[in-house]
Amino acid sequence: MIALLCYQSALLFRSHRWIFPLIAYGLLISVGGAGSGSQALPDGLDWSAAILVPVVALLTRSMLTAEPAAARACVSAARGPARAQLAALTTAFAAGAVLGLAGAGYEVVTSGHKAALLAPLTAGLGKALVCALVGSAVATLFNPPLIRHAAAALLATIGAVVVALVSSVSPASAALRGNGATIQSAAWPAGLPLLAAFALAGVSWAVSCWLAGRRAE
């Protein structure tokens, strides 16, 4: 599995498919970044977390479509299609996690918040994790091998990202709009958005890996 992760990481960086997500994340962070004052840090962390939904979805879609068919067939034959799929999903999620940590660090540095950093930072990182998991699940469910048609997969992914950010049934929306958030909605019980995000990502990854194995047979 380590060899597969190294291969997928090299594929991500050599294909330059990380450049657009990085630029998009950086631009959105700077546009919606925290202002001044002690109340700005939670708002900035919420913003940086919300952006992870489309960014991780984009990274995941990039990884699922990066390999030429011949290369994917060779990797699948050598290591197994399910393990190759899992490595691609893990690599995309890890890249998104790195961006999320960088975004949280940027918000801390630029917010001017000097005291009591631990509580808002912990809450912000928790929301970022929820959003990253939801972004990964969205792209996993609406891209190959579940949806093979490129245009349909892209449109479905965009639509699902929008739903994930605004729908009250989305763990990401619940985490961003729960108790203490700037925009309020019906609050989920504490910890439930994170559990739901883990379950959603786990199910989507399992289905994707299983289907990758089935279609390689």
Q: What is the pTM of this model?
A: 0.89
Kindly report, residue by residue over 97-120, the tens digit of the pLDDT.
999 999 999 988 887 766 678 888
The pLDDT value given to residue 63: 93
90 in Cβ contact with 5 (< 8 Å)? yes
- pLDDT category of residue 38 using cuts at 50, 70 and 90: very low
* 15 phi/psi in degrees, rounded to 5: -80, -10
Q: Where are the domains of the chain?
A: 2-216
Tokens for 63?
């990884």
Kindly report, residue by residue over 40-74, the tens digit of the pLDDT.
788 889 999 999 999 999 999 999 988 877 887 88
What is the 3-class SS of 24-62, one letter each residue? Answer: HHHHHHHHCCCCCCCCHHHHHHHHHHHHHHHHHHHHHHH
Kindly report, residue by residue over 6-27, the tens digit of the pLDDT.
989 999 998 888 999 999 999 9
